[in-house]
Structure 1
C-alpha cells in the first residue's frame, strides 16, 4: 500500500497535490510519502514480533540514503545496514545508534574498518579470510575488539535478476557455507576478533519464499554444527531482499507475515535473536519520480513521449529492465483513448528509455507524469551524465512537504572540477 491517489482529478502524495510540488521545485523531482515509509516499516517489524521472534530491523541504507528518510525510520526504532563509510556516516548523522548498525559489503578498506571500529557499531559482516585478517590487524592497532559475523554463501538460486542475485557460488559475496567451521575456528583464534553472528543474504527483489526456506535451512544446519564445535553464535543476520510489486499485472510478492512464518519455521528452534535488513520493501513504493512532458514525437511506426527526466535520474529501466508504472498527474478522462508509446528521456543514449509500448493517453507539452515505485534505487543511483543536474528530493507528511535535497546548480556541478594548472 502507498499513499498516492487521485483527488479531484489530480495525483496527490498524502494531502499534497503533486502539481503544487512541481510548481514549487520544478521538474524532475523525487517525492516520498512519510505515511508509506512508516506503514511499511511497522508492517514488517510487527510481523516478526507477532511470531514471537526477537528481531532487530536494520534498514538497508543503500536503497535510499537521504538523511530525512533514514531519520524517519530511526525514530520508529530501525537500525541500519550500511555498505560503505559514507553510508555509515549518513546513518550516524541521521540519528541511528551505533549499537544498531551493521556494516556489510565485500570490499571494505582499512580506513572504513577503522571508522567502524571507532564508532562502536554492532557488528561487521566479514566476507573473506583476507578481510578477517585485515580486520584483526586493524582492531589490534586501535586497541579495539571487532564483533563480527561471517557472511556465508549458501549456493541458493534466489530466482531474481542476475545483477541482484548474491547467494550463488559464482557471485562475489560471502564464504562458501561448507567452510564456515574452518573460518569460525580461525576467527576465534585471531586477536581483536570476537565472532558473534552468522550472516546470509541471497539477493534482492525476491518474489518467492522458497529460496529463503532453502537458505535458512542450510544456515540453521551450519549453526548447529558450529555450536557442536564449541563456537558460540549469539544472533543470526538473515539479510533482506523481499520484493515489492512494480507491475500491477504481476503476482503479489509474499507478505512480511508469510516471510516471518518462514523465518520462525526455519530458524526459530535455535532460540537466537535475529537481524533483518529490508530496503526496497520499506522505501520502494514510498516514492515517485515526477517529470514533465517536453513533447510527443510520432513517426510511422512509433510514438515517443519525451520527458525531462532521463536515465541518469532513474537508471533501473536501463540497468535492470525495471518496470515502473507511469501515471499522468492529471487524471485522464474515463473515455480517453490510449495508444502504445515509448517513454524516453533527453540523454544521448538509446538506453535512455523508461518504457516501451506502454498504453498511455494523449500527452502534451507541459503535462506532468509520475513514475511509480521509485523510492528505492532511484535518487540514490542518480548521476550527472550529460552534465545533467541531480534532481531534488521532497518528503511529504500530511499536508506539508519539505525539500530534503535541493536541486543541484550548474555552479555547484562545475565547481567539482579543477582546471589543471598548466591550462590557466
Structure 2
C-alpha cells in the first residue's frame, strides 16, 4: 500500500510541474540575471547565446581533439619516442586507449578536416542522445507505477538538456566530456533497467577517457556487484591489450606519471569547480577570470592537503554511507560518479554535464510522486546546470568569491540529497520505486 503522503498525481500533473520548473530556472538564470545586471549598471553578465549558436550551427573548437590528433601525428613520425613528451599546443591528458577510435579513422583514410567534422557530429548526437536516454529511463520508471510520459514532461527534459550550460559548454569547446556525459546517462539507464554488465562496460569506457571514473569499479567491488565488476575488468583488459599492441608498453606506462603530475597541479580559473579551485580563488592564488594555457596555479601545501582530505572524505562518505534499500541502486551509483568528478582537483564546468541523467532518475523515480515539492533538488539543479556569470563580479572580493564555485556546491548538495533520499526510501514516507 502506498503511503498517504505520496500523492497519486496524474501523468499530466507531474509533467506540467516539471516543465514549469525548467522554464522558471532558465528564465532566472538568463533573462532575470541579465536584466538585474543591466539595471544595476554592472554590464552584460553573458549567458548561453554563444554556446547555443555553436550547437545549432554544429560548430565547435578542438579542446580535446587537437591534442589527441597531434599526438597521433607525433607517434607516426616518432614511433620510438614517448608520446606524452610530445611538444603539443596543449597537454594530452587522456589514456592512449582513448586514441584508438581516432587511429582507426586515420587508418581508414579519414583526413583531419573530415575527422573533426565526424567528431563534431558525434558530439552533437551525444547532446541529443542525453534527453533521449533520460526519457527512456523516465518512461521505464513511470510505468513501474502505472503512469506514462506526457508531452509536457518530454518537452521539459529536452529543454533542460538542450539548455544545460555544462553540456553545451563541453560541446562548444570540442571536449570529449560531451560524449562522456552521454555515456554516464546511458550507464544510469542500463543500471535502472537491470543490465548491470552492460553498465559495467560503459563505466570502463568512461574510465579510459577520464581516469577518475575508475572509482566506479571500486564502488562495484564494495557493493559486490560482481557482474558489473567483471564486465568492467574484461572491457578494460581488452582496451589495454589493444593500446599496448599499438603504442607499446612504455607509452602506456608513461600515463601513470601523467596522472601523478595532474594530481599536484591544476588551475584556479573560475571554471574549475572544485575544492582546489575554490581555495586558490579565495586566497587570490593564480588566475581567476583570465585563462592562460599551460599556466598552472602555484603550489600551496595546505591547499593541496585540504583538497586531498576533502576528496577522501567525499569519496569515502559515498562508499561507506548506509544506503539502506538504495544500496547498489542507480542513485547510489550516481552519487559515486558525481563524487568522482567533484573530488578531482580539476573539475571544469563541462564535467558536470553528468548531472542531467541523475536529475532525470530522481524526478521520475521519486520527485514527481512526493507530496511536498522538492525545493532543495530544484536549488541543486539550478546551481548545476546554469551559467551564473554574475558571480564573477565577486572575483576580487575576499570571502565572497567563494560564490563563484556555485556549480561545485550544487553538486555537493545533490550528493547530500541522494543520501537523504536513501534514508527515507522504505520508510513510512517514501515508496521504493
Same fold (TM over 0.5): no
Normalized per residue, the structure richer in helix is 2
Q: Name which structure has the greater RCO, CA cutoff 8 Å, separation 6+.
A: 2
TM-score by length of 2: 0.26
TM-score for both structures, normalised by structure 1: 0.27
